[in-house]
Structure 1
Amino acid sequence: MDMRRKAIGSTRSVWLMPLVLVAGLSGSAAATETLDGVAVQDGRLTGDVDGKKLDAGAVIGTDFDEGGMVYSIIDASNDPFLPGLWRYRVAWRAQGDREWTPMCRNSRGSTGWAYVSMDDGGPRFTCEDAETARCLGRTSGLSAKKALSTCLRP
């Protein structure tokens, strides 16, 4: 079993997330599933592995290649403000590297979560910060796609 999958545990233990990311990004030798195709539909990351369609939470523990980089989906969660909108904890590395780096670091200005959208045919991750969280909190009643276009800056 991949170290990243084993380390995640419950998302209820928010204070453990930095430790989980360190443990999960430590360069485990075990392989994860690699997505054959990746897309974004209504603010949710989708993909397929050997013809099996994966959506939102099912992509946890998968990797995909995009433009010379490898991305790993560490965790996924439904957004607390907009049902149907998903956010992700993502790690990346160059294809030749072994060390994983968190895409969004949990800090005063960032929640550590990223939203996904399509950009030039591939997925683009945007880190959630306090301003984005406040904006999304004010978009009740909007669709996930409209809320993302309102609150995420290119």
Structure 2
Amino acid sequence: MRTFFAEGDLVFAEVQSYFADGALSLHTRSIQYGKLRNGQMVSVFPQLVPRSRSHFHSLPCGVDVVLGVNGYIWVSKHVPASKVEANAELIYSDKNEFISDEEREAIARVANCIQLLNRLYVKITDTSIIFAYEASLPHAAKDLLTRDVAVELAHSVKASLEQQS
């Protein structure tokens, strides 16, 4: 493990088991797990992230999201699975890829939408993030966390989620 990861690296892994001394046994058994790069970490209330079949989501805006049931959410630039499969060293690389201004804007907007959903205590799923993202488009990404815009977007997301169910 130490040949692939260094202390301080952010990694996405499945917890296999807990030990009495507080140690954990982790699995990074497939390509979807590994070192987190090209993005931003968002911390939310864990109770807002429901368990689901998959916690990996590629959003239509070109951003990948990993929803951790521990309340940690990773928002990153989309990297096609075929690119990772073709070059397995990407899983362990310390270098971020080039991220264009448009990609940075999309990552920041999604991260702010997630923070908005958290602040207003709305369940955080791929669907609620997409609704929040689409409702946020008329506003600048930096304005999403202001109170007036946040309340407007929260009402819009809640209405969209109610219509869907």
Q: TM-score by structure 2 length?
A: 0.29
Structure with greater proportional helix content = 2
Instruction: Give 1 or 2 for the bigger CA radius of gyration.
Output: 2
> When you count strand as a share of all residues, which structure comes out higher?
1
The normalised TM-score by structure 1 is 0.30
